[in-house]
């Protein structure tokens, strides 16, 4: 089953028909909130708000291990992560949807693995599942939705936004997007054998790349405009069937 992890601005899934709610215990502590199981456009899926209701959990305080563990225990095999990000690359301006294929982790102090003792070294050259990315891109093409194929997600610690100098460093490193939640989420999904893909919504130009200030009003306006295409992509992905993680 497909599970959607909603990021900033996606504390609920519009049009979702809930059938039940779950908050399972995990060996890693509490999850962010209830996992809601139901249907979207007649397709079964699960939904979890990454930051919890009221956006109460900062990126570095999210219990990523508990969230992923609980989703797998409830039957999730695929994860679509919705991420609100800042745009760095020329094709990632506000309002653009991007399906990144790479990431760079700049975070620190987060619980990074299920396998501290004994240690296991997962293969992670391609951090987003290839087959699931292909399905998402095909769904966008079929629906006539502009979705950028590829990009490098730079994951910063947060919760503050970045300085101009930090964004310039990320740009030199090759990052085209900047966010705060893709890691360790993507790596933990890989450890559990879950197919994982990120659907990024660029909500602003990153610091120093626009003369306009970054404001929550502007971010929320972009998120509101993204509702319809993102819901269409979720439905298309759920309708396309399951994949085996690569």
Tens-place pLDDT, residues 37-56: 999 888 899 999 999 888 88
Question: 128: phi > 0 → left, psi -120 to 50 → alpha, else beta; which?
Answer: beta
Domain boundaries, the chain: 2-239
Strand, helix or coil for residue 63: coil
Mean pLDDT in residue range 134-157: 97
Instruction: List binding-site positions.
Output: 8, 50-51, 180-181, 204-206
Name the percent of the chain lying above pLDDT 70: 98
Instruction: List binding-site positions for phosphate.
Output: 8, 50-51, 181
| pLDDT digits 0-9 by tens, 154-185 | 999 999 999 999 999 999 999 999 999 999 99
Distance of alpha carbon 69 from alpha carbon 27, whole angstroms: 9
The model's pTM = 0.93
Instruction: List binding-site positions for substrate.
Output: 180, 204-206
For residue 36, what is the enclosing H or E element?
strand 35-40
Distance of alpha carbon 93 from alpha carbon 57, whole angstroms: 26
CATH of the domain spanning 2-239? 3.40.50.1580
Q: pLDDT tier at 241 (50, 70, 90 boundaries)?
A: low
Decide: 238 and 2 in contact? Cβ < 8 Å. yes
Decide: 63 and 32 in contact? Cβ < 8 Å. yes
């Amino acid at each position: 089953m497909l599970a959607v992890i909603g990021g900033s601005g996606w504390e609920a899934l519009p049009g979702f028909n809930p059938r039940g709610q779950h908050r399972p215990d995990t060996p890693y502590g509490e999850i962010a909130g209830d996992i809601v199981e139901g249907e979207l456009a007649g397709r079964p899926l699960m939904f979890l708000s990454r930051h919890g209701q009221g956006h109460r959990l900062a990126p570095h305080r999210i219990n990523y291990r508990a969230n992923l563990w609980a989703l797998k225990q409830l039957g999730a095999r695929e994860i679509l992560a919705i991420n609100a990000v800042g745009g760095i690359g020329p094709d990632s301006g506000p309002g653009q949807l991007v399906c990144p294929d790479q990431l760079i982790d700049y975070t620190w102090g987060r619980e990074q693995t299920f396998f501290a003792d004994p240690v296991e070294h997962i293969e992670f050259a391609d951090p987003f599942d290839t087959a699931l990315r292909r399905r998402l891109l095909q769904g966008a093409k079929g629906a006539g939705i502009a979705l950028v194929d590829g990009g490098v997600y730079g994951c910063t610690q947060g919760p503050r936004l970045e300085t101009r100098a930090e964004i310039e460093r990320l740009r030199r490193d090759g990052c085209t997007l900047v966010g705060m939640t893709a890691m360790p989420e993507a790596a933990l999904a890989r450890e559990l054998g879950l197919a994982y893909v990120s659907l990024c919504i660029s909500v602003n130009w990153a610091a120093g790349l626009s003369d306009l200030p970054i404001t929550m009003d502007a971010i929320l306006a972009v998120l509101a405009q993204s509702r319809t295409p993102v819901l269409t992509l979720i439905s298309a992905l759920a309708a396309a069937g399951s994949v085996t993680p690569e």
